[in-house]
Structure 1
Amino acid sequence: MSHRVWCCLSLWLVLALLLIIRGGGVRAEFYSSVDSMQDLGQLELELLNATRSYLKAQQQQINLYRKFVEQLKREHVMAMDLIDLDEYLGHPLHAFRLIKRLVYDWDALHAPVVENKPREDYRQVVDSLSKEVGFPDLSELQGAVKGLARLQRVYNFTAPDLADGIINGFFYDSEMDWRDCYEIGVQLFDLGEHHRSLEWLQEAFRLLRANPEMKEAEKPQFIADIREYAALANFELGKPTRAGTLLEKVLQTEPTHPARHIQKYVDYRDLAGSNKHEKEPSWFGNYSRLCQGRRLPEKGSGTSLRCFLDGKRHAYFTLAPLQVEQVHLDPDIDVYHGILTLDQIDSIFEAADKQEMTRSGVAGDGGTRTVVDLRVSQQTWLDYESPIMKSIARLVVFISGFDIAGAEAMQVANYGVGGQYEPHPDYFEVNLPSDFKGDRISTSMFYLSDVEQGGYTVFTKLNVFLPPIKGALVMWHNLHRSLDVDPRTHHAGCPVIVGSKRIGNIWIHSGHQEFRRPCNLTSDSFKSVAYRE
């Protein structure tokens, strides 16, 4: 057996073991949180080390087998060089060695082949990793692909740029090969994203044709597979002629290719149900533009925003005044810089690590939560019993002037691949959860990390975007003084392009604020009428 064949067989056994074991492990969702993805990175490193050990042990065994076989070959060559086998076996030492080999040597060789201890050791390592961390499945891959498509949709990234490692004008050492692009195209097709699928399939075709490492004779079979999916994507986009042309090219080189069945499907299927390019929702234009850090031109409002130091908000800030940045007036949105120290942020993470992170949901009737793609992140909740959380609660009370009694626990969230939260309000307005005393009167959002690219907080009706700044606090009111909801405060978390976005949210309720923020005698909700969709 050649070295190349043995390596291929060994790798096949490795993959077979993975397929057998990975199905049994209990796992969390990975792609929706960079923190969870770190577990996968460590898992792959341990898997790599285990695989190296496995292949090394197998190679040592095969070297022993090869040495034994070469020795036998010399014996048999010697026997064939003699006139007959009787003369060879008539020699007492030859006879002894033949019997000894069949009694001991072949048995010693057979045992490790059957037992294959390196494979069993490898199986135990993979089984342990599967139970501790778990392996991602197809839904995880599709989630990551959706994240890439989301980045393209919001930031207008092209498949060729992403494939070349160019993100938002910056080059990263993360180029993709044709197989990566092909897999993204296939997954997007299965998800019904036919326009985007075709873009990635075209990039896979370009990279495959230009691949210098693959023999030209090997390329046609892979080109045929790309063309087959591209034909289906074109058909779903209402281009049956283009689909037929691609299938004909496949069958010209490979008449027995499965594409011949696709051709029959294309010929007889009614186009009436084919894919139509969906229109973007009305808010998407503002959302996408603000996520890219661009505002609409505005006429002067007569009131200028300013930055200032505030040491009079509370005695706590007398010696260390608040660093206030006004980003919008009416409704007021303020950023308080340098609120949290690095040690405080680390303490929050330590407390969060003791809790289980779960996929973030979207609030429904009565406080129920539903997991949907408009919100892609993971979260946990921290009460105010620990020293660090008592300190955080005190800061929020001193800055907001509100009573924190009845406030929700702090929500700590982390965004993963293309993680986002589409435009939404923080208030409920109707169907409040039974344990709420009033609606969410204010939001206090702490930025717990910087983000290299993307991940802005945007207010789509106010022409405001805020880049995450580690240690800063953003605060705004979701309700008017009349306690009517303020729809102008619809906001969103833009998809993270590069980096990890971590935030902490505290929502204070109106039920305990009668003397902290008294209601007006008349409703002031008329101010927001013009902003309603």
Structure 2
Amino acid sequence: MTICVLFFQTVLILWSSVQAISEDDFPGWMREINYDDRLNKKSTAIDPTRIIQLSWKPRAFLYKGFLSDEECEHLKNLARDKLEKSMVADNESGKGVLSNIRTSSGMFIEKHHDETVKRIEERIATLTFIPQENGEALQVLKYENGEKYEPHFDFFHDQYNIQLGGHRVATVLMYLSNVEKGGETVFPNAPDDRVKDETWSECAKKGLAVKPVKGDALLFFSLTPDAETDNMSLHGSCPVIEGEKWSATKWIHVNSFDKPNKSSGCVDENVQCGEWAAMGECQKNPSYMVGTDAYPGACRASCRVC
């Protein structure tokens, strides 16, 4: 599976490698094109002309207009009344803990929750050339004024999480809203030759950065082509200065993230299930935590429904 994943990643790179970043070369980079008007809302196909190669180290690509406005609003509405303070994985135990490193609020949407979510997941698989079963559930995040996520890696430092599908090889970060100022995604280890004016936050001037534009999707890889962890993939979410930021993240693993015994319906798919259950998420967010007979939730064991 690892060899296949790396092969298809190479195909993606060759597909989208056309020229270096330039505001003149890429109409829409500064929001002057409404890509929603060009998107077939029912399509899972990929338009390679919308893919911008941002960096080789790390390997990062921007897809303009990946989601329609309707899809963005749908994901926000699914999450709006279920948001909880975000957690981070402890480097030693792998368990989820609260931390000032990450001050957003978020929730997970179960796989195949509805037709819109299913269509987005299929489109992500087409974009990345990685099977849907290798992905985690979509996580929707909301950042309010001053909230941020300090630079971090998406690959793991603990063996507990590595056992669940291996390292995260790729991340698809979808922006569900525009942000008046701040909220950029920044890669502090990656250089950025662009001259950044006052529309960029100071945080975003410390490396390669991408402004959150509603509907756009950022794809980057946390592993190198030879399957080593990539220290250049260090990334963070700059503090929101004006407005609010909504995003949706799909983390994708080297191997299948679906539990082999999922058909039994009595498993936890996320290491944070115990903490979430203790916080009352089984009642607050049953669609994700418990699910249905057709699509069992991610935390059925911790919710004690089996």
Residue matched to 2:209:
465
Q: Name the residue aligned to 1:117.
A: none
More strand by share: 2
- Alpha-carbon distance, 1:328 to partner: 1.1
Q: Does the aligned pair in 1 maintain the 2:57–2:190 contact within 8 Å?
A: no
Q: C-alpha deviations, 1:117-159, integer Å up to 9, x for none?
A: xxxxxxxxxxxxxxxxxxxxxxxxxxxxxxxxxxxxxxxxxxx
Cα distance in 2 for partners of 1:423, 1:375 equals 9
| Larger of the two Rg values belongs to structure | 1
Matches within 5 A, 1:297-376: 304-305=20-21, 317=45, 320-353=47-80, 356-364=82-90, 365-376=92-103
Q: TM-score, normalised by structure 2?
A: 0.62
CA distance in 1 between counterparts of 2:163 and 2:115 reads 25
Q: Work out whether residues 380 and 412 of structure 1, in 8 Å CA contact, stay in contact via their aligned partners in 2.
A: yes
Aligned residues: 204
Match among 120, 123, 128 for residue 392 of structure 1: 120
C-alpha distance 322-390 of structure 1, shift in aligned 2 (>3 A): farther
Q: Aligned AA for 2:88?
A: V
Which range is displaced more, 366-375 or 387-396? 366-375
1:426 partnered with 2:142: no
Q: Secondary structure at the match of 1:330?
A: coil
- Conservation of the 8 A alpha-carbon contact between 1:443 and 1:476: yes
Q: Is the 8 A contact 2:88 2:96 kept in 1?
A: yes
Superposed CA deviations along residues 341-387 of structure 1, whole A, max 9, x for unmatched, are 11111111222236x21111111144311212121110000112211
- What SS is found at the alignment partner of 2:165? coil
Matched with 2:139 is: 411
Q: Deviations over 1:456-498 (max 9, x none)?
A: 1110000301111110000011012332210110011111001
| Aligned equivalents of 2:95, 2:215: Cα separation in 1 | 31
Question: Equivalent residue of 2:249, what SS?
Answer: strand
Secondary structure of the 2:50 match is strand
Q: 1:493 aligns with which of 237, 244, 249?
A: 237
8 Å CA contact 1:322–1:337 kept in 2: the answer is: no
Q: Measured at CA, do residues 331 and 508 of structure 1 come closer, stay the same or move farther in structure 2, by a change above 3 Å? A: same
For the residue of structure 1 that corresponds to 2:255, the secondary structure is helix
Q: Which residue of 2 aligns with 1:291?
A: none
Distance 1:399 1:434, change over 3 A: closer
Name the one with the larger helix percent: 1
Q: d(CA) in 2 for partners of 1:334 and 1:504?
A: 16
1:440 counterpart residue number: 168
Which structure 2 residues correspond to residues 178-197 of structure 1 after superposition, within 5 A? Answer: none
List gaps (5 residues or longer) in structure 1: 1-302, 310-314, 514-533
Cα distance, 1:304 vs structure 2: 3.4
Determine the C-alpha separation between the residues in 1 that align with 2:249 and 2:216: 12
Once residues 459 and 405 of structure 1 are traced to their aligned partners in structure 2, the CA distance between those partners, rounded to angstroms, is 28
TM-score by length of 1: 0.36
Higher relative contact order (CA 8 A, sep 6+): 2
What do residues 276-317 of structure 1 show as CA deviations (whole Å, max 9, x unaligned)?
Answer: xxxxxxxxxxxxxxxxxxxxxxxxxxx8346679xxxxx964
The 5 Å alignment of 1:476-487 reads 476-487=220-231
- Distance apart, 1:326 and its partner CA: 1.8
**Partners in 1 of 2:214 and 2:54 — Cα distance?**
17
Contact 1:444 1:474 in 2 (8 A): yes
Q: Report the secondary structure of 1:488's partner residue.
A: helix
Change over 3 Å in CA distance of 1:429–1:367 after alignment to 2: closer
Which runs of 5 or more structure 2 residues have no equivalent in the other structure? 1-18, 28-42, 192-207, 258-306
For 1:393-426, what per-residue CA distance to the aligned partner results, in whole angstroms no more than 9, with x for missing partners?
Answer: 1111111111121421111000123001111111
Mark the CA change 1:469 to 1:375 in structure 2 (over 3 Å): closer, same or farther.
Answer: same
| Superposition CA RMSD, Å | 2.4
Distance (whole Å) between structure 2 residues aligned to residue 461 and residue 328 of structure 1: 11
Distance 2:74 2:162 in 1: 31
Distance 2:215 2:166 in 1: 29
1:238-297 per-position Cα deviation (integer Å, ceiling 9, x unaligned): xxxxxxxxxxxxxxxxxxxxxxxxxxxxxxxxxxxxxxxxxxxxxxxxxxxxxxxxxxxx
The correspondence for 1:503, drawn from 233, 239, 247, is 247
Q: Give 1:232-311 correspondences, 5 Å limit.
A: 304-305=20-21
Q: Structure 1 316/360 Cα, relative in aligned 2: closer, same or farther at 3 Å? A: closer
Provide Cα deviations, 1:200-223, integer angstroms capped at 9, x if missing partner.
Answer: xxxxxxxxxxxxxxxxxxxxxxxx
Q: Does the 8 Å CA contact 2:44/2:119 hold for their aligned counterparts?
A: no
Is this contact kept in 2: 1:438–1:510, CA < 8 A? yes
